[in-house]
Amino acid sequence: MKTNIIEQLKASYHGVVTDLKDPKKNAKRSRKAKEFSLTFIRSILLIGLCFVILFPTIQQILMALRAPSDVNNPAVIWIPENWSIMNIKIASIVLDYRHAVFNSFKLSAISMILQMASTALAGYAFSRLKFKGSNILFILVILTIVIPPQALSLAQYLYFRGLGLIGKEGSIYLMSGLGMGIRSGIFIYIFRSFFKGLPKELEESAMIDGAGVFRTFWSVMLPNARGALVTVGLFAFVWQWNDAYYVKIFEVSTQQFPLLTMRLINAAENMYAALFYTGGLNLIGQDVWENPVFLALISNVSALLMMLPLLIMYLFVQKQFVESIERTGIVG
Amino acid sequence: MQETKKTPKLPIKLPEMSYKQQKLFWAIIFLLPWAVGILLLFLVPFIESLRYSFFDLTPQAGEIVKEFIGFENYRYALNTHVTSISSFRVELLTTTTDVLINLPVLLIFSLFIAVLLNMKFKGRAIVRAIFFVPVILNSAAVVSAVGGGEAINAILEQQGIDRIFDLEFYLLQTGMAPFLITFIVGLIERIYDILALAGVPILLFLASIQSIPKHLYEAAKIEGATAYEMFWLITLPNVTPHIITVTVYALVDTFLTSSVSTIISDELNQQNWGLSSAMAWIYVAVIILILIVLGAFAKLLKIGESHYEN
């Protein structure tokens, strides 16, 4: 019996050794180990960074879900004792949320489309339709990127006042459509570097097939620069949504046309007055609204409400960041 | 889109043009909206602002009195200007050095994260959404609303949850040298700053990685290249043209959100128009100088040239 066990052990040991020496299996094993360690390191890294990003936001969300009377209850640290959406309700009244979201969305969407059109055309011209002096013109683009908007806004205001566009959305659309909107210079730069990166053969084969310059741009080059289109569209939308500078100077946000950013800034400056004028005070007792921490909390919740639509939108848009279109027939 | 939809069927026929002439023709049309914008909305304010910087402007009963003072505004901005906590010159210097230190870190970090986010793994959509949060939060309105929440921070601190664990205290307990501890703690605090700045560069890099033709990777795989080799030989050369874009963006963005920009706005709001223009021009000169130096550097190392010969 004894020898039998030892022999069995020996046999299994032998089996393990031969197994370890098998180059095919070894390669497989090392590949698996590499894959595992990659996934492991990646997960730890990403989870850690996500935590760093999300930590303040989670804190704010949990505070937002407290009942207003619990705002500085020292017994509540993380999980609210009494869950309530009262804070969110009050904040949405202060922001005039439904109207403001609709208006902000309209303004951002239209100006996004205009910006994409004007900057894509200019970017294409600067990268693919070079002519004498186009590089000198491009220096102007760099200048528009570099100059701070403060340096130009006074003269721009006077100009728009002459046109009678102050207090109207048209001023923002005009800026976007003429490629002078929020960071349009950067967008032209992005389009230019993307179009530059496309192989020359694409253009040549389109030309040989008889496509004109515009046809080449519209049906060959533009679909290939989808990454740039998605990125520029996204940034144009988000920056317009978040913009408080131009909207303030051109006085776009009015009582009839409230915009999220201006509502938020005005409310944050004097939360008590904002609550008073919108009737938010009626929802809560005096002991609550006399508490400065409660007022600060409402302005935090309002900020959360402002970024919520963008986050939801991004969840859909991020699917567009997929693999590039197959460029069959061209070996770059 | 409006401009583009009209154009496919132009009433004018262009049969006699050579391809080169056609290109010029379309270049003019493509640049038309931008050129109109430059002429109307940029060049006039631009020259105006340059002129202002040499004048002393004082608003007086319905009109503005101008007095030519040469470079006095510039001299004042650089030598005598002070705010309650700092001065223009100090802020300009700190911002410049900060940018130069942060830039390489930012570039490498965001490219690395973009490569990670481009891989396939579970929950990729959510992780990508989370990395987008700093882009949204980077707004003046949100900052002002959350900054109003100092009372909240006071309460949090009182309850001891402003930080989950006090790293500095913990490290002191282990008996580490104090200068190392300040270094590590500073580094960790910088991670958030870098993350906040990296939102846009990550997306730019992600988009540029996506636009690399797939067949290159397929061919490399068949030849037996490892993921490491594929990164250095395919991904990196294809992404380098965009490194310059990201650099320009990061540079301008840091300056725009820095205290230098705030000082310029403050002077503008106090109706010191001449001084504010002069400061804006110094600011522009500094950025352009950095760009020229970086551009020369890039040309020397041949970074940023498309590897498709054009």
Q: What is the pLDDT of residue B244?
A: 83
- Residue-level pLDDT at A322: 55
Distance CA(B260)–CA(B20), nearest Å, equals 46
Q: Check residue B147 and give its pLDDT.
A: 60
Specify whether the CB–CB gap between A40 and A26 falls below 8 A: no
Predicted pLDDT of residue B216: 85
Asked if this assembly's ipTM is beyond 0.85, the reply is: no
Burial call A299-309: b when 16+ CB within 10 Å, e when fewer? bbbbbbbbbeb
B23 neighbourhood in chain A, CB within 8 Å:
129, 131, 213
Chain B contact set for A269 (CB, 8 A): 144
Q: At what angle do helices A97-128 and A170-177 cross, to 10 degrees?
A: 20
Question: What's the pLDDT score for residue A117?
Answer: 93
Residue B170, pLDDT above cutoff 80: no
Q: What is the reported pLDDT for B229?
A: 87
Q: Supply the pLDDT for residue A74.
A: 65
- Per the CB < 8 Å rule, is B152 touching A297? yes
Q: Which of B136, B210, B256 sits opposite A323 (nearest CB)?
A: B210
> Most A CBs within 10 Å: which of B63, B167, B211, B236, as the mutation test of the A interface?
B211
Nearest to B160 by CA among A138, A70, A167, A77: A77
* Amino acid, single-letter form, for residue B14: L
Q: Domain A97-320: give its CATH superfamily.
A: MetI-like (1.10.3720.10)
Give the model's confidence band at B102: pLDDT under 50 very low, under 70 low, under 90 confident, else very high. confident
pLDDT digits (tens, 9 = 90+) for B132-157: 888 887 777 777 776 645 555 565 55
Task: State the pLDDT at residue B88.
Answer: 85
What's the pLDDT at A2? 63
Q: Which of B7, B19, B28, B31 to mutate to test the interface with A (most CBs of A within 10 A)?
A: B31
Report the pLDDT value the prediction gives residue A158, as an integer from 0 to 100. Answer: 80
Query: Tokens representing B104?
Result: 């390489």
Q: DSSP label at A222?
A: H
CB burial of residue A109 (10 Å; 0-12, 13-18, 19+): middle
Three-state SS string over A79-102 comes to CCCCECCHHHHHHHHHHCHHHHHH
Q: Strand, helix or coil at B56? A: strand
Q: Which of A312, A293, A305 has its CA nearest to residue A61?
A: A305
What phi and psi, each to the nearest 5 degrees, are found at residue B26? -70, -30
Per-residue pLDDT of chain A (332 residues; tens, 9 = 90+): 567 888 888 888 888 888 777 888 888 888 888 888 888 988 898 888 888 788 777 877 887 887 777 766 666 666 777 788 888 888 888 888 888 999 999 999 999 999 999 999 999 999 888 888 888 888 888 888 888 888 887 778 888 888 888 888 888 999 899 888 888 998 998 898 888 878 888 888 888 888 888 888 888 888 888 888 888 998 899 999 988 888 888 888 888 888 888 888 888 777 777 777 777 777 777 677 777 777 777 888 888 888 889 888 888 887 776 544 444 444 44
B264 contacts A151? CB cut-off 8 A: yes
Buried b / exposed e along B167-181 (16+ C-beta atoms within 10 A): eeeebeeeeeeeeeb
- CB within 8 Å: B151 and A116: no
Q: Tell me the pLDDT tens digit for each residue of B17-48.
A: 677 888 888 888 899 999 998 888 888 888 88
Mean pLDDT in chain B? 78
Interatomic CA distance for residues B230 and B220, integer angstroms: 7
CB contact (8 A) between residue B148 and residue A268? yes
Q: What's the sign of the alpha-carbon dihedral B304, A319, A118, A217?
A: positive
Decide if A174 contacts A159 (C-beta within 8 A): no
SS3 B57: strand
Structural domains of chain B ordered from first start: 54-301 (1.10.3720.10)
What's the mean pLDDT in B95-116? 88
pTM: predicted TM-score of the whole model, two decimal places:
0.82
Closest chain A CA to residue B10: A214
First-last CA distance in chain B: 28
Q: Which amino acid is at A119?
A: T
Tens-digit pLDDT profile for residues B220-277: 989 888 888 888 888 888 888 788 888 888 888 888 888 888 888 888 878 778 888 8
Average pLDDT over residues B57-63: 71
| pLDDT at residue number A115 | 93
Closest CA to A314 of B114, B253, B250, B127: B127
For chain A, give every domain's residue range.
2-64, 97-320
Cross-chain Cβ contact B4/A218 below 8 Å: yes
CB contact under 8 A, A319 and B125: yes
Predicted pLDDT of residue A325: 45
